[in-house]
Amino acid sequence: MFNIFGSKPKNYENLDGRTFREKFQSAAKAELLDVRTAGEFAAGSIKGAKNLDVTSSQFQQALKTMDKDKAYFVFCRSGNRSGAACDMMSAQGFKAYNLAGGIGAWPR
């Protein structure tokens, strides 16, 4: 099939908030990853999330030390940066899930 829009297939899943939370809570080895800036993270995040700014130079370095046996549940403000992070992570062999819609989509 022709790919007239130039987009490539995703090697990660975009999940709505409820599915994202349920899949995270049922995963045997999982980690919540907030890929926003440190300032955004400090202003509030999902309980238990670790911060790793996808726009920082440390992001690629950190990937080299992360456990590829874990599933990573990745989010940002709107789902765009976390989608980019999931794309990079899946290209390096990580199992990654993106919270579509960002942190606001996380069920309260």
Average pLDDT, the chain: 93
Report whether pLDDT(4) > 90: no
pLDDT of residue 52: 98
pLDDT of residue 2: 55
The structure's pTM equals: 0.91
Report whether pLDDT(98) > 60: yes
pLDDT of residue 9: 73
Token pair recorded at residue 52: 């790793």
Mean pLDDT of 50-78: 97
Token pair recorded at residue 91: 């290209």
Helix intervals (H) in 1-108: 17-26, 38-42, 58-63, 80-91
